[in-house]
Each structure stands twice: as C-alpha cells, then as structure tokens.
Amino acid sequence: MLIVRRVLFVVFVLAVAFFAWLWWTRPVRVDMAAYVPADSIIYFEANSLPEIVSAVTSTDDWRELAPAAGVEANPGGRGWLTRLISFTGAGPSDSVVLSRAQVAVAVVGFDAEEEPDATLKYTPRAALVAETHTSEWRVKASVEKLVGDFARRSFGSASAERKEVDGAAFYVWSAPSGGRRRIVAAVYESVAVVGNDEAVVKACLDVRRGARPGLAGSEQLKEMRARLRSDGALAFGFAPQGSAAKVVEVFAPAFVGSVAQEAHVQSVLATVLPQLINQTLGSVGWSSRVVGGRVEDDYFLSLPGEMSERLRAPLATGAGEQSNAADFLPPDTHQFSLYNFRSPEAAWRGLSAALSSQVDVSRATIITLALEALLKPYGIEQPREFLRACGSEVATARLEEASEGKVLVARVSDRAALAEQVRAYLRRDARTERVGDAELLVSKDPERGAACFVGDYLLLGSEGDVRRCVAAHLEGRTLKSADAFKAVAQNFFDEPPFALTLTDDRDSARSAISYFAPRDDAATAQGNQAALEEALARRAYSVGETRLSDGGFEKKTRSSFGLFGEIVTRLAPR
C-alpha cells in the first residue's frame, strides 16, 4: 500500500510539473509593432494564422465554392489539433511554428531599378517578422525548410549562404541570374525575420534587441487600432501620416504625365505633389474580420485638422432616389462605382476647397490641376460646369478587366447644358444617329469616343463601350438585372454611403480556391472547374461602401477572401 501511495504521489508531482511546464511555455501574445522600426511606412500584423484559416473557411462563400472545386468544405474542423499543437508545442517543427507564430510585415522604403527597356521597376524594401513563441533550434529548422522552399520556387536553383551576424543566424538565397534579387532570413532566439534586403532584416533585429526604437510607441498607431477595433480583428494594417507622401514621391513621375505635357511643369508637380499629400492626408488603417458570411476589409483614412467637418456638408448624400445607373451597363461589367451626392458640383467645390485650405495659395492651383486630371479620362474638361448640370447620381464603369477606358453614366439635370459641353468635347462635326430611343453622338476623333442620351441619363466613353451599353439597355440584359448584382449585400453603415463600388472578384476567388484544390485526373478536374465557375457566377462581385465619418473617410468591402486571397495566391507554397 505504501508503494502505491508513493507511486501515486510521484505521478501526481510529475503531472503537476508537466502541466506547469505547459502553462509556462504556452504562447503569450506580444505587440508585434514592438518588433519593427519606428520609421516603417507600412505595417501589417496577424496574431494567429490558424484563426485566419478557420474564419475564412467558415464563410458562406467558402461553403459554396469549396465543394464545387472538390475541396474539403470544413478544414477548420481539425482546429482542435492545431490548438493542441499550439498550446503544448508538441509536433513537427513546421506545425509548431506556424500554429504559434504572430507575424508582422514592415515596409521601410522603395528601391528603383532600371529595366532593359529603360523603365524603372520599384521594389519595396520589406521584412516579415515572426514571433514564434518556440525554441531557437526549431525556428532555424523551419526557416531553412519553409523559406528555402519559397526561394527555390521563386529563383529556381538559388544559391544559399549561411553566416552569423551579431549572434543571429543569417540565411541568404540569391537568384542564379545575379542582380539584386535575394531573400534574406535571420533567426534570433524565438524570432525569425525574412526580407529582401539585409539592412531591413538587421534593422528589425535591432528593434528586437532594444537598440533601435520600434513602432509600438506611435500614438497614431494606438488611435487607429482603437478606431478599427484591431483587438477583435483577424489582421490589422497601418501607415502613419507622411507614408502616403513617401509613396507618392516614388510614383509621382508616372502620374504627372497625365496632368501636364510640359517637362518643367511635370518636374514641379513631381516635387510638389508629395508635399501636398503630406499636408492633406493623415494616417491610414486596415482591419479584417468575417461579417455577414463574407470577409470584410475595413479601411480608414484620417484627415488632418477640421477637414472632415469642412467636407460634411459638401459630401452630403442625395435624398435616397432609386439608382438606375446599373440599368445602362452590360450584365458582365467588371467594375461599377456609384457616387451619390446631393449636389455633385458642391461636392467637387467642397473637396477642392477643403484640400486647398491645408496648403498655401501658391500650391492650391496644383490641387485643382490634380483633381481635374482625375476627370479628364471621362471627357470632362470643365468639371464644375459639367457636374452642375448633373443630377445626384454619377457612376463610372470598366466593362472589361483589361480595358483601360471607362464609361461614365450620369443622371441628367440640365440636358441643354450637358449637350453643349458634350458637343464641344466631341467637336462640332460629330455625327448623330438614333439607336432605339437613344441619341448617339460619335466623334470623328476615335480618342474622344462617343456620348449618348438615353432617357434621363448621359453615357460617355469609347464608341464601342457606349454602343455596348446602349444595346444592353435596349435588350433589357443589364447589370441591374443580373443575379450576381442582386445578390450583393449592401448598407454596411448606419447612414447611406456616398460611394458604392462593385468589382468582379472571380479571378481572385478562383486563384485562392484553386490553391486548395486537389490534383485530380483530367475528367474530375474538368467537372470541378465547371461546377466552380457556376458557383463563382453566383458570387461574382465584391462590394465596397465609402462614407465620411468623424475624422476621415471610412470604407468597408466584403468579398470571398478579402486581402487574404491576394496574399495566398502570391505567396503561399503550392
């Protein structure tokens, strides 16, 4: 009996020690912003990869698309195993690391490299930081395998180098063709850092060691986290004030060419635009969660000073009139954006005035030029006069994904004024013809396209696009009558948004779901593909709504996979 008691006592002590060890080694969440440099211009974080997988595979879209593609409809049903591995740390190194890891991505700048055709290719200098909450030897093994496999898929027969820098193990994979293409990884204690630039990787390690300030102390970051409720989000992103200006500084040369033709004017704009952006835009945030059976991405753009209050009256929405713009577009339209303002002209003037109020008088003209450049592709040369003659409903559409041109659909308020402006743009020698009950005007200059008055609406765009829209309207086969359009959920906010955007999301959803699809024989694969296309047709559109809220602009989008789908198709291993 004494022996039994001693055995039971030993078992009890061992059990207590075991569970104490499990509790001590359990992963405890940290603030990943404390692992990236304070001067990061773009930052993303995700605190649990298994939670993201579980949430995305629980959506209505997944439940309909996955079976059609021959994919297991409920892979999250094995979540208990992932949670067990995460809590105990027992399992293969890869599984333990992925189940426990908190990850962050930091972009600290951009590099420009000249291509053979003399164009510049811009590459972000970025790093992925993972707090794995596990032992260093396991992290090293996982990094060599996972990152090494990714490097070989990206570069082919990549050359590998191992070294130690300041007590951290470094791994470098380089493209066989030479050049600057490389992947750099480093492991320090439980932290792994992977980037495309060794200096960025070292900067993140310095933050981890406390030798360099991190982003966690940013007050803008704290405010954005609270606004977007990042604690309950699957993932969160942030760009501090000034980040947009740095990005514009890189890409401004490509934009200013559409604003002015003179070289000296382009040079001035390329210099001044980043300064204007810095003065007129604040920080940007993003969060993602599952809402209403779809993945919802929530964006917020903060505005400095009292700009949001100045814009409240000009950007007021219309009186809730029924929208009919979609009744003038083909049923397979790729993208459709509807703007609803009480007065489009007042919205234009108010936006220009609010932006101009943030800069000195000498730079206010630049803002006007930039805003006018946004409308020139639609054939609008005098925005204020044009918008004054429009009703509350103005829409733009891209009929094909590959098309560079867009169609503008506007409710007519003053037909005579619009007709005069349209004829001036198309030139006086434009020919007129009747198509059903529509009046079609076609310019002799193909670059200027065509215009058409149909009922109370005006259509502007290329001749081919306008004719296609008119034909769809006359045949009664329009976007408004399409099942996928009707199925889209709207009204994400408590008040009407001033902008509604629908985008054909099938390519993104198809790529994401195909990543999980099994490698079947040709006949099975063909059957799965046909079923998948039918399911995709029923859930073709992602939808986004934008409104003005306290402190800035807020946009919510709902789609099959959100930004996660883009990440999977670009980065996940096959």
**pLDDT one-digit tens code per residue, 241-281:** 888 767 766 555 555 554 455 555 556 566 666 777 777 78
SS3 395: strand
Cβ atoms of 555 and 545 within 8 Å: the answer is yes
> With the CA atoms of 348, 351, 356 and 359 taken in that order, what torsion angle do they form, in degrees rounded to the nearest 10?
-150
* 221 domain residue, yes or no: no
SS3 547: strand
Confidence check: pLDDT of 114 > 90? no
What was the pLDDT predicted at 263? Answer: 59
The lowest-confidence range among 176-180, 361-365, 522-526 is 522-526
Confidence check: pLDDT of 330 > 60? yes
* C-alpha to C-alpha distance for 568 and 278, rounded to whole angstroms: 32
DSSP string, 146-197: HHHHHHHHHHSS-EEEEEEETTEEEEEEE-TT-TT-EEEEEEETTEEEEES-
What was the pLDDT predicted at 430? Answer: 86
What was the pLDDT predicted at 493? Answer: 75
Per-residue CA distances from 474 to 194, 234, 454 (Å): 56, 45, 10
> Mind listing the pLDDT tens digit for each residue in 214-224?
999 999 999 99
* 334 domain residue, yes or no: yes
* C-alpha to C-alpha distance for 482 and 502, rounded to whole angstroms: 13
What was the pLDDT predicted at 282? Answer: 87
Confidence check: pLDDT of 53 > 80? yes
Q: What's the mean pLDDT in 345-370?
A: 83
* 220 domain residue, yes or no: no
Cβ atoms of 133 and 28 within 8 Å: the answer is yes
SS3 544: strand
* 182 domain residue, yes or no: yes
What is the pLDDT confidence band of residue 156, given thresholds at 50, 70 and 90? confident
* 289 domain residue, yes or no: no
DSSP 214: B
SS3 336: strand
Identity of the residue numbered 339: Y
What was the pLDDT predicted at 6? Answer: 63
DSSP string, 337-372: EEEE-S-HHHHHHHHHHHHHTTS-HHHHHHHHHHHH
What is the pLDDT confidence band of residue 230, given thresholds at 50, 70 and 90? very high
Highest mean pLDDT among 220-229, 299-308, 349-358: 220-229
The lowest-confidence range among 67-71, 226-230, 424-428 is 67-71
CA 467 to chain centre: 32
Q: Check whether residue 336 and residue 457 sit in a common domain.
A: yes
* 328 domain residue, yes or no: yes
The lowest-confidence range among 208-212, 259-263, 537-541, 544-548 is 259-263
* C-alpha to C-alpha distance for 88 and 95, rounded to whole angstroms: 12
Per-residue CA distances from 491 to 499, 556, 558 (Å): 11, 10, 11
The closest of 300, 303, 278, 230 to 44, measured between CA atoms, is 230
Identity of the residue numbered 350: G
SS3 444: coil
The closest of 147, 206, 208 to 182, measured between CA atoms, is 147
* C-alpha to C-alpha distance for 189 and 134, rounded to whole angstroms: 9
The last residue of a domain, from among 214, 243, 260: 214
Confidence check: pLDDT of 26 > 80? no
* C-alpha to C-alpha distance for 371 and 366, rounded to whole angstroms: 9
Q: Tell me how many helices (H) and strands (E) the chain has.
A: 20, 20
Structure tokens at 378: 């639609």
What was the pLDDT predicted at 109? Answer: 87
More confident residue, 157 or 83: 157
What was the pLDDT predicted at 288? Answer: 96
Task: Quickly tell me which residue has 């083909």 as its tokens.
Answer: 330
> Mind listing the pLDDT tens digit for each residue in 377-411?
888 888 999 999 999 999 999 999 888 889 999 99
Provide the domain limits for residue 116. Answer: 28-48+101-214
The closest of 331, 455, 428, 341 to 387, measured between CA atoms, is 341
With a pLDDT cut of 70, the percent of the chain lying above it is 80
* 93 domain residue, yes or no: no
* C-alpha to C-alpha distance for 168 and 147, rounded to whole angstroms: 16
* C-alpha to C-alpha distance for 492 and 559, rounded to whole angstroms: 13
Identity of the residue numbered 59: T
The last residue of a domain, from among 497, 525, 542: 497
Q: Check whether residue 185 and residue 331 sit in a common domain.
A: no
Confidence check: pLDDT of 523 > 50? no
The DSSP element (H or E) to which 567 belongs, if any, is: helix 562-571
Which residues make Cβ contacts (< 8 Å) with residue 467, sequence separation at least 6?
435, 440, 450
Residue 483 buriedness (CB in 10 A; 0-12 / 13-18 / 19+): exposed
* 168 domain residue, yes or no: yes
The lowest-confidence range among 65-74, 75-84, 126-135, 416-425 is 75-84
- Phi/psi of residue 348, nearest 5 degrees: -65, -50
What was the pLDDT predicted at 21? Answer: 47
Number of domains in the chain: 2
Q: Check whether residue 463 and residue 331 sit in a common domain.
A: yes
Cβ atoms of 238 and 224 within 8 Å: the answer is yes
Confidence check: pLDDT of 120 > 70? no
* C-alpha to C-alpha distance for 509 and 90, rounded to whole angstroms: 34
Cβ atoms of 54 and 83 within 8 Å: the answer is no
- pLDDT, mean over the chain: 83
The closest of 62, 61, 563, 565 to 297, measured between CA atoms, is 563
What was the pLDDT predicted at 522? Answer: 43
pTM summary value? 0.86
* C-alpha to C-alpha distance for 561 and 574, rounded to whole angstroms: 18
What was the pLDDT predicted at 318? Answer: 81
Residue 369, beta-bridge partner list: none
* C-alpha to C-alpha distance for 134 and 27, rounded to whole angstroms: 8
What is the pLDDT confidence band of residue 70, given thresholds at 50, 70 and 90? confident
* C-alpha to C-alpha distance for 203 and 144, rounded to whole angstroms: 21
What was the pLDDT predicted at 219? Answer: 94
Instruction: Kindly provide the b/e burial profile for residues 195-225, where b requires at least 16 CB atoms within 10 angstroms of the residue's own CB.
Output: bbbeebbbbbbebbeeebebbbebebbebbb
What was the pLDDT predicted at 116? Answer: 63
SS3 315: coil
Opening angle at CA 244, ends 240 and 250, nearest 5: 135
The last residue of a domain, from among 497, 519, 551: 497
* C-alpha to C-alpha distance for 190 and 30, rounded to whole angstroms: 12
